[in-house]
Amino acid sequence: MKAMKKSLMMRGMVLLHYGITVLLFVSCWWLFYRHIAAGAVFGAVNISVYAFYAVSLLMLSRIYSAYRVGLLHVGDLFYGQVLSNLISLGLTYLLACALARRLINPLAGFGCAAVQALFSAGWTISANRLYFSLHKPKRTVVIYRGESDLRKLEEIRFFAERWSVERTVQWDEENVHDLPYKKETPGGRSFEGIQKLMRIMEDYDAVFVSGVSATLRNGIVKYCVEKNKACYFVPHTGDVIISGAEHIRSFSVPICRARRSRPAPEYLLLKRAMDIVLSLLAIIVLSPFMALAALAIWSYDHGPVLYKQVRLTKDGRTFEILNLRWMEVVHELHKIQATIRVAVCRRCTRFPLPSDFRHSIAGFAGVFAA
């Protein structure tokens, strides 16, 4: 019952943030953009705009984990909320321009985004404090194999705030009961060790498992599920592969098929379309800045502004890209080769180069580091 109450309170906080964010957008639209769609505030066109923004915000908030309170830092939550809101506002702005059949002034939208960002900043801090006031650190025991497995847990975010580690148990792999066939454990230490481990886990609310064998780990997970204890474990490589397996239902025996991930065709089509559209928009918006950068490069040494470079992409294919030149132009490449040859023969680690060679042999730095 207490867990349900805590969950409802956090869900209420999420609904509060989402509702106020949408309400701020509705107010902004009605105050500054209602001339686009004639009629009342709840006219068909206005409702379609409200619904488009609300659905976009909901979907993007899930994509960018804007409401994962307790699992993400405050800064990450704020970033996800602001990013999802800005993209939603941008898409809604394009819809509004299509309805008006002209470009409309986006200044009021920027003001709305600023107010929403301030509200999101206050909400993330308040929601984070509420979460950790409701969820006190659980009494925790850690079962691990080696010191490296124990150090992995230190990288978990909010570890100290969510779990109070009161005991650590280093499990000797010799005591594990998944030994090779017909190999006995001396003196039955495996069974006795597991019984002792179960008695230890009885006194704690949460169990962390890291590095132990999959057989023992699965037994601990089953025990924790039966005893209604929270169990967390660091997955093995096989676990990650199996988690993406496909359940095949055409057999009387349940079977899972694991294979390399294959994106759906509609996802690839939509992704390609979004890449092209967003790239064109970025080129249009950033073209003045790129023009200034090109002018600065040309005025520095009157050399070429762009240079080509070969990159490696999917399935080992290569392609050429155009980039703004940031290296010095070297007209006599044989001088660089001769300088490198002399340096290698003399076993030099430091040698002077003319200014024309700046950045040109940066890729050879590792040759002289030894």
pLDDT at 347: 57
Q: What is the mean pLDDT of residues 266-273?
A: 87
Over residues 116-145, the pLDDT tens digits come to 999 999 999 999 999 988 888 889 999 988
**Mean pLDDT score of the chain:** 80
Residue 334 pLDDT level (bands cut at 50, 70, 90): low
The confidence score (pLDDT) of residue 2 equals 75
- 293, HSE (Cβ side, Cα atoms, 13 Å): 10
Q: What pTM was estimated for this model as a whole?
A: 0.60
pLDDT in tens, 153-188: 777 766 677 888 888 888 875 544 433 333 333 333
Which residue did the predictor score with more confidence, 91 or 365? 91
- The CATH architecture assigned to 138-179+187-257 reads 3-Layer(aba) Sandwich (3.40)
| pLDDT the model gives residue 211 | 86
Residue 52 has pLDDT above 70, yes or no: yes
Per-residue pLDDT at 307 exceeds 70: yes
CATH 3.40.50 spans which residues of the chain? 138-179+187-257
Read off the pLDDT of residues 344-357 as tens digits, 9 standing for 90 and up.
555 555 545 444 44
So what's the pLDDT on residue 36?
73
Question: Does 43 have pLDDT greater than 90?
Answer: no
